[in-house]
Structure 1
């Protein structure tokens, strides 16, 4: 059972809300899932991107900063770096919906304490806060800082890797697809990477995944396109090229075949939904 901290022992956190789609509230009180989790174990002050954040930092005397993103842009990411420069001794935890390996590397090079990707795992956030409580307490007692490492849990993506022999044989090909969606992907190259002839690879792939290699690549590109279109800063053309298409009309036809509408319509419907949610939250 998790130990409840007294009011005097609880951390003071500043949750800096840098989401671009704050209209998507997860509870009637207007708080995000992250804020509800943090309030289980800390005193939480909340401020949005439009507020006077530097002033709030001084007023709250926060011991920890949580930066919450959905689809971060350059200005919001630069603000994290500036905050770290001004307050180098205060831990920063970055929480984001949009994730990539490059983004995670950037975050840790910017000296964030920890990095979490939504949807959040409550215990992971609370374990992080327990570590922070120890650091803050030792700092107050003038003790030297000890290295506090997170538990070595198995990465989520590794838990779901296929276990069958056929799928294990083509894992390298799947990894290649994920890393090169923006490029032309040729089955012959991927087959060679897996140590197979194109015929062997095609047969193994169909048996393992129930579809052809080409169908798998297209489906993966459509899934990524849907994810990217949720970013209000991304244009349809940008998404088209990012997921490996070189012809916008072909991308539009393919997207409509798999999603049931054009990418422009999909993006417009999302924007209308966000506007409606924002209006509803302001009225309430």
Structure 2
């Protein structure tokens, strides 16, 4: 669906020492690094969906054209333009007998394998829940996607949490897994609560379902329950005011951090291409020239900086 893996596999392996670090659209990173992603082509990348499969006629109007060199559906230009994932939900019932919908989401793990593109499930229990910062002209919901087979088993009554409409300024909401529940209309025999769903999670979905009309939205940040949603990009992240990444030629060091912390360097596809810690400088001599994101995470610090290698 998105991005080819172009860096050696040894450099692409995500570090198990890092938890799900909050994704902020203002950071210019296109992939949500959930910690449980498997580096397949759909892992952590944003996608959109609509009601066309149910004979609805809804769509999303994007502010700029989507796509990159790997996929016509890539959200990279959207994220750069909006500092988030933004657009206008154009809701049209078509032949639906209920309110139309569109949604934006990301797979938390990715595909089952290189030869099986079925979205894989993962255990996201350790996140504790989800935080999100957004604007929306219609009241959206956060829905826990469980894959086609499980979704069908529960009658597509997936655990969800309602969010308030937010038009004047971004709103941040934090929801524990226990705060997700199946809709009240569901009367089926197979029950699924938020805590159970989190242990077999396939996707996080931001869903807009309302009366026909046009509704603007922007997803600014998303992260775990204790994440830094609501921060304005990298500068507002925990510990960022005192800490910074320093690049001298092709050698990277971190200043202003007094406790141990891990360091990761990510390319613009969100892939980890180098890693180390704040105790010593990190050589980036083997990386291609270009823009990278440095992410530092520890007990008392959690921030990101962009760097440019020449």
Query: TM-score per shorter chain, which class?
Result: under 0.3
- Higher relative contact order (Cα pairs below 8 Å, separated by 6+ residues): 2
TM-score calculated relative to the size of structure 1: 0.24
- The structure with more helix, counted as a fraction of residues: 1
Higher strand fraction (1 or 2): 2
